[in-house]
C-alpha cells in the first residue's frame, strides 16, 4: 500500500490523535506539528487532536501546546513530526498510544513507529506535511498555511539553504496564497531580542576562523550570563558565520548549566553530520547537533571540523 494511504487509513480509524515533535523546538517542529493539527481538525472534525510537548520558549506567536492526561493516550494514535530519534521526542508519553507514525525529513537513523514516512529530499517537515495535504486533496485554513510557511521559512533560512528546491517554492507559493500576513510572520521568525543582538556582536568579534574556512565560537556559561541569554536563544546566532566570506563550516559551542556543551554544527557546502554522529548527536548533512562533555572534546570536534573543511577545500582545488 502507498505509504500516504496507509497513514490516512490509520488516521481514519482513530478518534483521538496526539501529535508530538522534538525537544528544543524550532519553527519547523512547531509548524509541522501545529500545521498538521489544524489540517486534521479541519478535515476530520469529529476527531480530537492534541499537540503535545514542553512549553515553547520564544515561539508562542506560532501557537500553544495542549494540556493532556495520560488517559488521553488510551487507544489513541500518536504522530511524531520532525524528530529523527526517540530520545529527542518531547514528552515521553508518546509511548502510551496504541500505534504511532513517524513523519520526518532527517536522515532515518532510527526508523521508529508502526508507519515510517521519511523524505530527506524535502527542505522541512512542514514542506512534507503540506505536500501530503495538497497531494491528497485535504483542505487547509489560513492558520495551517501560516504555520507550515513558518516551518519552511525557518528550516530553509528564508529559502537560502541548498535544501530549497523548485518543489519547496511551489509549495510555499500555494501556502502563501492563503490570507495571512507573511511579511509580519517572517519578521517574527527573524526577530531577535536586544541581548541576542549584543551576543551576535560577540559572535562576530570572537569567531575563530582558520585558513581554510573552518570556524568556531565558544559560549561559556559566564558569557551567556553576561549577555543575559538562555540556551534556547542561541538559535538566532547559529547562522551568523554562514554570512561571512570563505567560511565553509563551523560550530557554536554552547555550555549548559551542567558544564557540558551543546555543539551546534553547520556547513555552508561541507557536510558536518558525520562529526555530530561521532559525538553523541546527529542531524542533516549541513545542520547537525552534537554533545561535548568538556573543553577537550570541544577542541576535538573543532579539529574534526577543520579536517573536513581542509579536505573539502583541497578537493575543490585539485
Ligand atoms: P540545532 O543546532 O539544535 O538547531 O540542530 C540542528 C539539527 O541537528 C536539527 O535539525 C536536529 O535534527 C539535529 N540535532 C541536534 N542535536 C541533535 C542530537 N543530539 N541528536 C541528533 N540530532 C540532533
Q: What is the pLDDT of residues 35-81, one digit of tens each?
A: 999 999 999 999 999 999 998 788 999 999 999 999 999 999 999 99
Q: How far is the CA of 90 from the centre of ligand 1 (A)?
A: 13
- In the prediction, which pLDDT does 56 show? 77
Report CA Rg, the chain.
20
19: closest CA among 108, 122, 126? 126
Find the helix or strand (DSSP H, E) in which 314 lies: helix 295-317
Residue 124 in contact with residue 21, Cβ under 8 Å?
Answer: no
Q: How far is the CA of 137 from the centre of ligand 1 (A)?
A: 32
Q: How many CA atoms lie within 13 A of 42 on its CB side?
A: 16
- In the prediction, which pLDDT does 315 show? 83
Q: How far is the CA of 74 from the centre of ligand 1 (A)?
A: 31
Distance CA(121)–CA(174), nearest Å, equals 19
242 lines ligand 1 (CB under 6 A): no
Choices 3.10.150.10, 3.40.30.10, 3.40.50.1820, 3.10.310.30: CATH for 194-317: 3.10.310.30
- Phi/psi at 54 (nearest 5 deg)? -65, 160
Q: How far is the CA of 251 from the centre of ligand 1 (A)?
A: 12
CA distances 167 to 102, 139, 210, 257, Å, are: 22, 19, 36, 41
- In the prediction, which pLDDT does 317 show? 54
289 lines ligand 1 (CB under 6 A): yes
- Which neighbouring-strand residues pair with 117? 103
- In the prediction, which pLDDT does 318 show? 52
Measure the CA angle with vertex 288, ends 60 and 305; round to 5°: 140
Mutate to test the pocket of ligand 1, among 155, 232, 288 (most ligand atoms within 8 A of CB): 288
- Which neighbouring-strand residues pair with 288? 265, 283
- Strand 16-20 and strand 249-255: the pairing is unpaired
* Number of neighbours of residue 74 by Cβ within 10 angstroms: 11
- In the prediction, which pLDDT does 199 show? 98
**Greatest pairwise CA separation for the chain in angstroms:** 62
Strand order in the sheet with 261-267: 208-209, 214-219, 249-255, 261-267, 287-292, 282-284
Residue 283 in contact with residue 290, Cβ under 8 Å?
Answer: no
Q: How far is the CA of 64 from the centre of ligand 1 (A)?
A: 22
Q: What is the dihedral of CA 316, 279, 90, 265, to 10 degrees?
A: -30
Q: What is the pTM of this model?
A: 0.92
Q: How far is the CA of 38 from the centre of ligand 1 (A)?
A: 26
Q: How far is the CA of 207 from the centre of ligand 1 (A)?
A: 21
46: helix, strand or coil: coil
213 lines ligand 1 (CB under 6 A): no
Sketch the domain layout of the chain as residue ranges: 3-190, 194-317
- In the prediction, which pLDDT does 131 show? 98
Distance CA(124)–CA(70), nearest Å, equals 30
pLDDT, one tens digit for every residue, the chain (318 residues): 699 999 999 999 999 999 999 999 999 999 999 999 999 999 999 999 999 999 878 899 999 999 999 999 999 999 999 999 999 999 999 999 999 999 999 999 999 999 999 999 999 999 999 999 999 999 999 999 999 999 999 999 999 999 999 999 999 999 999 999 999 999 999 999 999 999 999 999 999 999 999 999 999 999 999 999 999 999 999 999 999 999 999 999 999 999 999 999 999 999 999 999 999 999 999 999 999 999 999 999 999 999 999 999 888 755
- In the prediction, which pLDDT does 55 show? 84
Superfamily of segment(s) 3-190 = inorganic pyrophosphatase (n-terminal core) (3.90.1640.10)
Residue 35 in contact with residue 147, Cβ under 8 Å?
Answer: yes
Q: What is the dihedral of CA 33, 39, 43, 48, to 10 degrees?
A: 30
> What ranges make up the beta strands (E) of 88-181?
99-104, 115-118
265 lines ligand 1 (CB under 6 A): no
CA distances 256 to 223, 262, 294, Å, are: 12, 7, 11
Residue having the nearest C-alpha atom to atom 10 of ligand 1: 283
- DSSP letter for 1, please: -
Set of cell numbers at residue 207? 569567531
* Number of neighbours of residue 315 by Cβ within 10 angstroms: 9
106 lines ligand 1 (CB under 6 A): yes
Amino acid at each position: 500500500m502507498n505509504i500516504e494511504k496507509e497513514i490516512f487509513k490509520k488516521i481514519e480509524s482513530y478518534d483521538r490523535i496526539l501529535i508530538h515533535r522534538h525537544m528544543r523546538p524550532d519553527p519547523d517542529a512547531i509548524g509541522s506539528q501545529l500545521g498538521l493539527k489544524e489540517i486534521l481538525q479541519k478535515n476530520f472534525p469529529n476527531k480530537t487532536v492534541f499537540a503535545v510537548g514542553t512549553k515553547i520558549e520564544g515561539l508562542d506567536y506560532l501557537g500553544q501546546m495542549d494540556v493532556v492526561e495520560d488517559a488521553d493516550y488510551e487507544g489513541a494514535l500518536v504522530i511524531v513530526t520532525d524528530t529523527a530519534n526517540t530520545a529527542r521526542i518531547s514528552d515521553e508519553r508518546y509511548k502510551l498510544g496504541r500505534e504511532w507514525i513517524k513523519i520526518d525529513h532527517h536522515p532515518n537513523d532510527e526508523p521508529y513507529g508502526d508507519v515510517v514516512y521519511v523524505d530527506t529530499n524535502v527542505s522541512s517537515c512542514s514542506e512534507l506535511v503540506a505536500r501530503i495535504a495538497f497531494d491528497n486533496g485535504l483542505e487547509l485554513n489560513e492558520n495551517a498555511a501560516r504555520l507550515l510557511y513558518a516551518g519552511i521559512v525557518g528550516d530553509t533560512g528564508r529559502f537560502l539553504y541548498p535544501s530549497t528546491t523548485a518543489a519547496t517554492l511551489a509549495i510555499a507559493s500555494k501556502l502563501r496564497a492563503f490570507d495571512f500576513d507573511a511579511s509580519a510572520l517572517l519578521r517574527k521568525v527573524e526577530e531577535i531580542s536586544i541581548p541576542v543582538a549584543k551576543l551576535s556582536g560577540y559572535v562576530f568579534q570572537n569567531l575563530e576562523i582558520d585558513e581554510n574556512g573552518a570556524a568556531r565560537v565558544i559560549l561559556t556559561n559566564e558569557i551567556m550570563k553576561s549577555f543575559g541569554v538562555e540556551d534556547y536563544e542561541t538559535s538566532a546566532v547559529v547562522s551568523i558565520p554562514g554570512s561571512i566570506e570563505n567560511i565553509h563550516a563551523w560550530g557554536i559551542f554552547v555550555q549548559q548549566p551542567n558544564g557540558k556543551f551543546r555543539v551546534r554544527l553547520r556547513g555552508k557546502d561541507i557536510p558536518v553530520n558525520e562529526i555530530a554522529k561521532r559525538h553523541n548527536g546527529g542531524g542533516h548533512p549541513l545542520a547537525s547537533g552534537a554533545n561535548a562533555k568538556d573543553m577537550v572534546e570541544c577542541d576535538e570536534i573543532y579539529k574534526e571540523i577543520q579536517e573536513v573543511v581542509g579536505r573539502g577545500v583541497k578537493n575543490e582545488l585539485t
